[in-house]
Structure 1
């Protein structure tokens, strides 16, 4: 059985850890509110931009072919993995690693065997993980330090340039989509080449809208496509940012609860150990008194 001093030291250690996890939960909750507001504002813009682009390209009747829509035999692949810079967020980062490994195993096994799968890691955890396992394009560990459209645009432009130059035949994003504080969904989305949207009743009705183009339809579409691709990646990073704070808040809340349960167990052990020590001392005193009485 552990001594009273050892149990006391463990209680103090667990109490200190509980204070830290409680503080980290509060910090994550404050950051989550801002991140959630950002992604909720971003989603309608990204959806509307994609809708307009789909409608315009759908009315082109094959007249306009973007360099970002070129369909080639998939020999070289770029996978953009979005994680966080820090840990202590439960399975947030490991789920991305599992998602990327599953994607490679099920979809790009031949390309991986030939060494033609390149990783673009957004976030320090992804960069450290994939740098030890293969080729990493660029260094985007600074993105979350000051998250903005400009910091993400550089990564999007590098991926787009690689696709235009034929260094990549397909570009895929893997990130955590924010659903709520306790739920993050790993999403795998193809960024390049452009995937034609499936026709729906809403898009069919919208496609009948007549637009007035200034300066020209071709120029507008060719400007919207790169902008839309950058917005898609920026939206994925914002989703991941909100998911990270939600995952960390949930993980720290659970850690705080576990610390409370451990404290209850340690205090019970402390009381039992203390009672046993007192009982032992009483028995020693009684035994000594009886020995003195017998000697007389």
Structure 2
């Protein structure tokens, strides 16, 4: 049985840890509110822009070239893995790594690992894929979440778009955590490039997607399509940011509860140990008194 000093030390240690997890939960809750507001505002814009882009692509003439919609034989792939900069968020980051592995297994099983590149957004992904996972790591985007903005994400999107245009990658896929609620994040693998127009819904008439191009279709391609790709990646990063804070808040809440349960058990052990020590001392005193009386 542990001594009273050892039990007291463990109680103090667990109590200090519980205070830290409580504080981290409160910080994550505050950050989550801001991150959730950002993604809620972003979703309608991104969805509407994507819808316009799909209609625009369907209505284009075949002679209008779209360099971001060229479908090639898939020989080289870029996977954008979006994680966090810090840990203590439960399975948040490991689920992204599993999602990347599942995407490779399901879509690119016939490709050698050397033909698969990973763009790591977030320090955890940067470190994970920098330790000889067999994939080629592209760029350094560990600074994105330090000051999250469209400009910081745009730089990563432009690298992926340039690589696709130059033929370095035949497909670009982003793997991230989609935010559902505080306790639920869903892994998504979304194809960014090439752009494949969605099929028109059966109840949508052709006249509803008949656009008048001003100043020209070529200029629309050069502006709207690249902007849409950047927006889709920015949306994925915002989803991941909100998911991170939700996952960390949930993890710290569970850690706080577990610390509370452990404190109860330790205090019970402390009281039992203390009672046993007192009983032993009493028995020794009584035994000594009886020995003296008998002498």
CA offset digits 1:44-85 (Å, max 9, x no partner): 000111111111222224242300111111000100000000
Match of 2:178, SS state, is: strand
Q: TM-score under structure 2 normalisation?
A: 0.96
Structure 2 unaligned regions, length at least 5: none
User: For residues 121 and 191 of structure 1, what CA distance do their matches in structure 2 show?
Assistant: 15
Would you say the 8 A contact 2:57–2:197 is kept in 1?
A: no
Q: Superposed, which structure 2 residues align to 1:8-27 within 5 Å?
A: 8-27=8-27
Alpha-carbon offset, residue 234 of structure 1: 0.3
| Alignment CA distance shift 1:87-1:106 (3 Å) | same
State the partner residue of 2:233.
233
User: For residues 205 and 142 of structure 2, what CA distance do their matches in structure 1 show?
Assistant: 43
| Alignment CA distance shift 1:206-1:241 (3 Å) | farther
State the partner residue of 1:221.
221
User: For residues 112 and 48 of structure 1, what CA distance do their matches in structure 2 show?
Assistant: 37
Q: Superposed, which structure 2 residues align to 1:61-210 within 5 Å?
A: 61-113=61-113, 115-132=114-131, 133=133, 134-201=135-202, 204-205=204-205, 208-210=208-210
Would you say the 8 A contact 2:59–2:210 is kept in 1?
A: no
Is 2:253 the counterpart of 1:253?
yes
Alpha-carbon offset, residue 207 of structure 1: 5.2
User: For residues 53 and 192 of structure 2, what CA distance do their matches in structure 1 show?
Assistant: 14
Would you say the 8 A contact 1:86–1:125 is kept in 2?
A: yes
Would you say the 8 A contact 1:58–1:207 is kept in 2?
A: no
How many residues align? The count is: 293
CA offset digits 1:164-185 (Å, max 9, x no partner): 0001011111000000000000
Q: Superposed, which structure 2 residues align to 1:5-44 within 5 Å?
A: 5-44=5-44
What is the RMSD computed on CA atoms of the aligned residues? 1.3
CA offset digits 1:100-155 (Å, max 9, x no partner): 11111222122234x10000000000000011123210000000000000000000
User: For residues 95 and 13 of structure 1, what CA distance do their matches in structure 2 show?
Assistant: 30
